Chain A
Amino acid sequence: MATVERTARPRAWAIVAAQELRDLWLGGRGLLLSLAFSGLLSVLSYLVATNQALNFLEQRESVNLTLQVAIAVGALLALLAGADAISGERERGSLESLLLSPVSRLQLTAGKLLAALSLWVAALVLTIPYVWFLGRGVGIVGDALATGALVGTLLALFLVSLGVLVSIFSASNRVSLSVSLFVLLALFAPTQFPTSAQQGWAGDLFPRANPLTSGEHYVGKIVVDGHSWSQDASWLASPIIAAALFTALAAVAGGRFMRLSGEVSR
């Protein structure tokens, strides 16, 4: 048995994140998900680009549509990865081995969260050529990508943290994924309401309070209406708050409540 010298302990969250990233990307799952994502964007951008009646404004709206789809699907992928983070290990029986290591639960949570977020980063990178192609004629590529990166990262951070939070308390992966998807659908539902339902103080408050609708609104104002970044900055409040709040909640829950069984011990 080799005698080894232990160096100063490297940050455990980085070790966890590195292994999770290897499992996700070198294991092939990340690439397959990215392939599906790029297929979706390819179909969308092809349909949009071959629309011969496209005028200037419609082109901006096409860029906006592509960006909104990229943010929605990219954040969804990150949510699903987050929802699998702890309950998936629990279901596969490999959580106990991790809990038996000297790594704190908080660092374990942080590492898994970061790795899940990589799916959004990959989605964002893949979106660049599509947005560049659709937007270069109308001079909005830079603004569109920057806005998409900002809003998408906030939303992805919010949803990944939500997924991890649900995963910590779910006894099985099925429960974790179901609850996470249900919450996501509930957040998307208001976007389908008719315009008449969005009148009055409630019609103004709810879209602002919902980080998904709020982020979608902000991106649209920049890309389609050409607003400046500060003009609608108040719409960024709920994505920022949601990202910060749920990241903190996931960290606290992971540090204090991560258990073998997924239930809070009595």
Chain B
Amino acid sequence: MSPAVEARGVRKEYGGLVAVEDLTFAVERGQILGVLGPNGAGKTSAIRVLTTILAPTRGTFAVAGVPNTRPADIRQQIGVLPESAGYPERQTGSEYLRYHARLFGHGKESARAVAAALLAEAGLSASARAPIGSYSRGMRQRLGIARALVNEPEVLFLDEPTLGLDPSGQRQVLTLVRRIARERGATVLLSTHLLGEVEEICSRVLILNRGQVAAEGTVAEVSRQAAAPQSARLRVEADSVSEAHRILAAERGISAVELADGQPGTLALTLEDQQDTTPMNGALCALAEGGVPVLFFELEGARLSDAFLAMTESS
């Protein structure tokens, strides 16, 4: 079976500015691909090309098996939440979804049923008859996701779905996305800045930087690809800092122990072998044996965010 999304050498120029250069990747059906990149990396341009809003300057792609030469057919198979989606303020949520359902070919009655079901799925049933102008930002994002589902798409493109939301709103949106991917079996391309969420729900990651693919693969593969330096950070009680410093400085495999600036009780550790983190096990045991409780511990450089920063800053 062909991939859900496949791009080969896609390039997008705006006049002399290259927004996307040689975008080549594939996403298998049912996967959730996290599309990452700093501002101006070309994420939105890439999504707009793949969703047929913009024509590529060069290259080919296919979505749900439909080639880019048939954009109307692609649009039948996809659902999209654009980055800066606007909504008609005076329409109600129900009216809005019914309209888009009809644009996708539903009759009047089936559009009504689709709208009611999607509003329930997005947790907006209580606000169905309220004007969209009264919706909070989080509600609008969920409405946008609901609209992206009116045609039961095979592929769902979500461009910054949690942009501008508080943590509670972010959690609601991502829970919805996870449920959609699981229950509908749709392939999801999720563009976001929230690396933690990408680690949590995405099966694969695509990192863009200055219009080019910087990395692609699973989260673990991309993290390893960056070969980010391994270090650790731990926090102990303030009156145990000097004792912890003494214990850790004596541990084999740890080359430096320093107080972290501006973070009371926090020590930053540098490993001698930056690819080998096993000395940390010994260090933690030594602290426990020395009666120093560890309040917080984190191994840095093994996170996606570390790989992201390493890849995008080095370019």
The 6 A-B residue pairs with the shortest CB-CB distance, nearest first, are A93-B86, A4-B110, A101-B103, A94-B86, A92-B86, A96-B82
Give the distance in Å from the alpha carbon of A5 to the alpha carbon of B87 in the complex: 27
- Residues of chain A lying within 8 A (CB to CB) of residue B105: 6-7, 9, 102
Contact A1 B117 (CB under 8 A): yes
Question: Contacting A97 at CB < 8 Å: which of B15, B76, B100, B117?
Answer: B100
Give the distance in Å from the alpha carbon of A94 to the alpha carbon of B103 in the complex: 14
Answer yes or no: B84 CB below 8 A from chain A CBs: yes
Give the distance in Å from the alpha carbon of A15 to the alpha carbon of B54 in the complex: 25
- Residues of chain A lying within 8 A (CB to CB) of residue B152: 1
Distance (whole angstroms) from the CB of B132 to the closest CB of chain A: 10
Contact B110 A5 (CB under 8 A): yes
Answer yes or no: B245 CB below 8 A from chain A CBs: no
Chain B residues close to A by CB (< 8 Å) = 13-15, 48, 51-55, 72, 75-76, 78, 80, 82, 84-88, 90-91, 95, 99-100, 102-107, 110, 113-114, 117-118, 121, 147, 152, 184
Answer yes or no: A2 CB below 8 A from chain B CBs: yes
Most buried by A among B72, B78, B91, B103: B103
Answer yes or no: A10 CB below 8 A from chain B CBs: yes
Question: Contacting B55 at CB < 8 Å: which of A2, A6, A16, A265?
Answer: A265
- Residues of chain A lying within 8 A (CB to CB) of residue B95: 22
- Residues of chain A lying within 8 A (CB to CB) of residue B55: 265
Give the distance in Å from the alpha carbon of A250 to the alpha carbon of B44 in the complex: 29
Question: Contacting A265 at CB < 8 Å: which of B54, B113, B117, B147?
Answer: B54
The chain A residue sitting closest to B73, CB to CB, is A102
Give the distance in Å from the alpha carbon of A22 to the alpha carbon of B99 in the complex: 11
Residue interface mask A126-163, B partner, CB < 8 A = 1: 00000000000000000000000000000000000000
CB proximity to B under 8 Å, residues A1-58? 1-2, 4-7, 9-10, 12, 15-16, 19, 22-23, 27-28
Give the distance in Å from the alpha carbon of A230 to the alpha carbon of B143 in the complex: 57
Chain A residues close to B by CB (< 8 Å) = 1-2, 4-7, 9-10, 12, 15-16, 19, 22-23, 27-28, 92-94, 96-104, 260, 265-266
Most buried by B among A10, A93, A96, A103: A96
Contact B82 A101 (CB under 8 A): no
Contact A260 B53 (CB under 8 A): yes
Contact B107 A10 (CB under 8 A): yes
The A-B contact count (CB < 8 A) is 87
Contact A102 B84 (CB under 8 A): no
- Residues of chain A lying within 8 A (CB to CB) of residue B48: 260
Contact B85 A97 (CB under 8 A): yes
Contact B107 A94 (CB under 8 A): no
Give the distance in Å from the alpha carbon of A99 to the alpha carbon of B117 in the complex: 24
Give the distance in Å from the alpha carbon of A12 to the alpha carbon of B100 in the complex: 11
Distance (whole angstroms) from the CB of B133 to the closest CB of chain A: 11
Contact A102 B76 (CB under 8 A): yes
The chain B residue sitting closest to A16, CB to CB, is B103
The 5 listed contacts between A and B (C-beta, < 8 Å) are A28-B90, A93-B85, A101-B104, A260-B54, A265-B55
Give the distance in Å from the alpha carbon of A99 to the alpha carbon of B85 in the complex: 12
Give the distance in Å from the alpha carbon of A4 to the alpha carbon of B13 in the complex: 41
Give the distance in Å from the alpha carbon of A249 to the alpha carbon of B107 in the complex: 31
Contact A266 B15 (CB under 8 A): yes
Contact A97 B147 (CB under 8 A): yes
Contact B80 A100 (CB under 8 A): yes
Contact B107 A7 (CB under 8 A): yes
Contact B117 A23 (CB under 8 A): no
The chain A residue sitting closest to B152, CB to CB, is A1
Give the distance in Å from the alpha carbon of A10 to the alpha carbon of B80 in the complex: 23
Distance (whole angstroms) from the CB of A40 to the closest CB of chain B: 26
Question: Contacting A102 at CB < 8 Å: which of B72, B82, B184?
Answer: B72
